[in-house]
């Protein structure tokens, strides 16, 4: 019998073990996508069970924190479960195993699974639940149904020696600075002279210790949104040639990206209600047992469609989403749950109310979020699983 001698493996050819990701890193990314400051008040969100300090190699995304979702997370040995709805709506006074809520909390802790509830700003955020639902339904030229808040903006100003301007400007732009509508890399520059005296212990890229220096510098100004500011500062500090970087941040009253609930858009053709229902069922993968419910009917052809994930109840504005859809002449309104107010007015409007259920309404957004997590943490060992 011939023995096989295994050749030594060059260390450079060995597959590198990819690092695990901390729960804190994932939370930071989630709150970058949808800043909690833009959430409706008094709505629970965030890390409700577990620790931000632990690392995880698997994340489970699910619409609701059901026993099935928690069991799936445990079966995958996932360290983090992310849901579109909170588990805890108010502080617990006790964790009891004979209470359904306490039993879920205990189950998560025993299985070492952290639980994160997405902020409701994710429904209103660009690319979030409402945008993803509208896209899945094939709506064209969508606009926000009910605007809620606008993200804050600031003017970021940094002083750069002339030789480093292009590098710093590009670094800031790649990090999200200088976006104005459909334009990127927007900036304004003015020339000037910077003066400084390097002190003992410094390591100046220009000049000598104890000697006053005069340097031709550029004042570089760019707009930066609230959620991009930390990344822009880090990018500028990394690209700037100086050891100590002088920069200013001026809060502005200019409204930034508008967050809002619901989307309304046009269908390619005016079609019957039955055709709309068939398209909705097909787009969301609804089966015979869970098809979309139509709460009243119309014989009029439908040319525009409104949609909102989750419940169509109060949005913090003076009108609900159904009322807003009716006022904007939507032929039908697809939602993930109806309120008593909706039921009261539904049969007295020209807008047909179509209820698809909470989970199907947030499924496109969760699937989109899963793809974003995979792309963002592609260099790590993170596995992302969508568990409907």
CATH of the domain at 210: 3.30.70.120
Kindly state whether residue 278 falls inside one of the protein's structural domains: yes
**Residue range 279-305, pLDDT digits in tens:** 999 999 998 888 988 877 888 899 999
Q: What is the CA radius of gyration of the chain?
A: 26
pTM above 0.85, yes or no: no
Per the CB < 8 A criterion, the answer to whether 178 and 185 are in contact is yes
Give a yes or no: residue 12 inside a domain: no
* Same domain as 133, residue 278: yes
Kindly report the average pLDDT of the chain as a whole number: 88
Domain identity same for 199 and 265: no
Q: Is residue 16 part of a domain?
A: no
147, 260 Cβ separation under 8 angstroms: yes
Give pLDDT tens digits for 202-255. 888 787 888 888 899 999 999 999 889 999 999 999 999 999 999 999 999 888
Nearest to 62, CA basis, from 39, 46, 45, 86: 86
Residue 184 placed within a domain = yes
Q: Of 215, 231, 251, which closes a domain?
A: 251
Q: Tell me: do 133 and 270 sit in the same domain.
A: yes
Q: Tell me, yes or no, whether 88 and 232 share the same domain.
A: no
Q: Which residues contact 183 (CB under 8 A, 6 or more apart)?
A: none
Q: How many domains does the chain have?
A: 3
270 alpha-carbon distance from chain centroid: 33
- 132 and 162: one domain? no
Q: What sign for the dihedral angle of Cα 368, 335, 44, 95? A: negative
Cα–Cα dist 240/165, whole Å: 8
CATH of the domain at 96: 3.40.1390.30
- Asked if the structure places residue 86 within a domain, the reply is yes
Is residue 2 domain-resident? no
Last residue of a domain, one of 222, 251, 280: 251
Report the range out of 210-214, 343-347, 360-364 with the highest average pLDDT: 360-364
Beta pairing, strands 80-83 & 114-117: parallel
| CA–CA dist 97, 199 (Å, integer) | 64
Q: Do 107 and 183 lie in a common domain?
A: no
The answer to whether residue 344 sits within a structural domain is yes
Reported as a single tens digit per residue, the pLDDT across 88-118 is: 988 888 889 999 999 999 999 999 999 999 9
Domain of residue 77 covers 21-119+364-386
162 shares its domain with 282: no
Judgement on whether residues 234 and 285 belong to the same structural domain of the protein: no
Question: Kind and range of the H or E element at 250?
Answer: strand 247-251
């Amino acid at each position: 019998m011939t023995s096989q001698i295994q050749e030594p493996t060059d260390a450079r050819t060995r597959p590198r073990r990819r690092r695990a990701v901390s729960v804190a890193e994932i939370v930071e990314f989630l709150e970058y996508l949808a800043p909690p400051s833009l959430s409706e008040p008094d709505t629970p969100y965030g890390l409700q069970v577990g620790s931000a300090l632990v690392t995880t190699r698997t994340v489970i995304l699910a619409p609701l924190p059901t026993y099935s979702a928690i069991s799936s997370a445990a079966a995958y040995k996932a360290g983090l479960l992310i849901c579109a709805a909170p588990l805890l709506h108010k502080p617990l006074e006790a964790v009891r195993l004979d209470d359904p809520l306490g039993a879920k909390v205990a189950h998560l802790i025993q299985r070492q699974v952290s639980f994160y509830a997405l902020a409701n700003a994710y429904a209103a955020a660009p690319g979030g639940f409402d945008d993803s639902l509208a896209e899945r339904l094939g709506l064209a030229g969508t606009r926000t149904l009910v605007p809620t808040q606008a993200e804050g903006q600031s003017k970021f100003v940094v002083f750069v020696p002339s030789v480093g301007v292009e590098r710093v400007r590009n670094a800031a732009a790649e990090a999200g600075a200088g976006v104005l509508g459909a334009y990127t890399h927007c900036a304004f520059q003015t020339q000037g002279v910077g003066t400084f005296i390097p002190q003992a212990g410094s390591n100046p890229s220009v000049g000598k210790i104890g000697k006053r220096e005069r340097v031709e510098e550029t004042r570089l100004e760019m707009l930066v949104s609230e959620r991009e500011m930390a990344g822009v500062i880090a990018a500028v500090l990394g690209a700037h040639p100086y050891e100590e970087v002088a920069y200013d941040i001026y809060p502005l009253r200019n409204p930034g990206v508008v967050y809002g609930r619901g989307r309304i858009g046009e269908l390619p053709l005016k079609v019957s209600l039955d055709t709309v229902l068939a398209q909705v069922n097909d787009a969301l993968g609804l089966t015979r047992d869970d098809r979309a419910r139509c709460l009243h009917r119309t014989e009029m052809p439908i040319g525009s469609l409104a949609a909102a994930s989750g419940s169509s109840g109060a949005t913090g504005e003076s009108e609900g989403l159904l009322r807003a859809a009716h006022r904007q002449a939507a032929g039908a309104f697809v939602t993930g749950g109806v309120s008593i107010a909706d039921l009261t007015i539904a049969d007295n409007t020209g807008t047909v109310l179509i209820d698809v259920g909470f989970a199907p309404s947030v499924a496109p957004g969760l699937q989109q979020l899963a793809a974003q997590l995979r792309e963002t943490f592609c260099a790590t060992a993170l596995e992302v699983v969508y568990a409907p």
